[in-house]
Homo-oligomer: A and B are copies of this chain.
């Protein structure tokens, strides 16, 4: 038995999220279907680093699975890509230690969130950015980003539907924002993210940029430990699971 670590990207537009659900087109179902074909119809269970919601994209999602098949990494990659639909692509495959676990061994995740801050819609970017046509003060956003860095209780920045039972303390190593020709990219790296956390933080930062929320408001949000204190959740189409980091890479 080998354990395989697989890095893949997907366009979330036409998926009902990543996690398997009956009668829905999901990333996990498509991956498992391809894996099953490679294993003579036997089921193969895929264990991803975490879920993404409907409409959310991935540049570098990671998952593991067990197999008895022996094959060079390049062949795994080719075989899987030949079987997968064209909104799902395997970027990298490697054999890993049998105790590797894509979810529990992840030491850092990076998410990116892209906002299209132009007056006019762009039909070609509608599924890949959040169209937000209102004026934004980037400097203010960049300053407020710093408030989210470090170790905090993120209860106020996590969906009330979160099923996390333990601590909601997480550490964000980096929260920053870049503007380039009307496209604003938020980059968030941390040791873990709660349900909807990136989208809620981006929602708050956009309100900072439009002057509706101040840095003191954010401090109060943290202190409240109550989801209702932070603003709207930014929509899924701007969000990308960008990279998942493990001890070795």
Q: Taking beta carbons and an 8 Å cutoff, which residues of A are in contact with B? A: 9-11, 57, 81, 86-89, 91, 120-124, 126, 128
B11 touches A124 (CB 8 A): yes
A89 contact from B81, B86, B121, Cβ within 8 A: B121
A-B contact pairs, 9 of them (CB 8 A): A9-B124, A11-B123, A11-B124, A86-B123, A86-B126, A87-B126, A89-B120, A89-B121, A91-B120
* Copies of chain A in the complex: 2
Q: Give Cα A123 to B58, complex, Å.
A: 10
Closest 10 CB pairs of A and B: A11-B123, A89-B123, A89-B121, A86-B126, A87-B123, A9-B123, A11-B124, A10-B123, A124-B128, A88-B123
Q: Which residues of B contact A10 (CB under 8 A)?
A: 123
Q: Give Cα A81 to B126, complex, Å.
A: 14
Q: Which residues of B contact A126 (CB under 8 A)?
A: 11, 86-87
Closest to A131 in B: B86
Q: Give Cα A11 to B128, complex, Å.
A: 13
Q: Which residues of B contact A91 (CB under 8 A)?
A: 120
The winner among A11, A87, A89, A123 for most chain B CB atoms within 10 A is: A123
Chain B nearest CB: distance from A83 CB in Å? 14
Q: Give Cα A121 to B59, complex, Å.
A: 12
Q: Which residues of B contact A87 (CB under 8 A)?
A: 123, 126
Chain B nearest CB: distance from A237 CB in Å? 11
Closest to A12 in B: B123
Q: Which residues of B contact A57 (CB under 8 A)?
A: 124
Q: Give Cα A122 to B8, complex, Å.
A: 11
Q: Which residues of B contact A11 (CB under 8 A)?
A: 123-124, 126
Q: Which residues of B contact A123 (CB under 8 A)?
A: 9-11, 86-89
Q: Give Cα A91 to B10, complex, Å.
A: 30
Q: Which residues of B contact A9 (CB under 8 A)?
A: 123-124
Closest to A77 in B: B120
Known: A11-B123, A57-B124, A86-B123. 11 other contacts (CB 8 A): A9-B123, A9-B124, A10-B123, A11-B124, A81-B121, A86-B126, A87-B123, A88-B123, A89-B121, A89-B123, A91-B120
Closest to A125 in B: B11
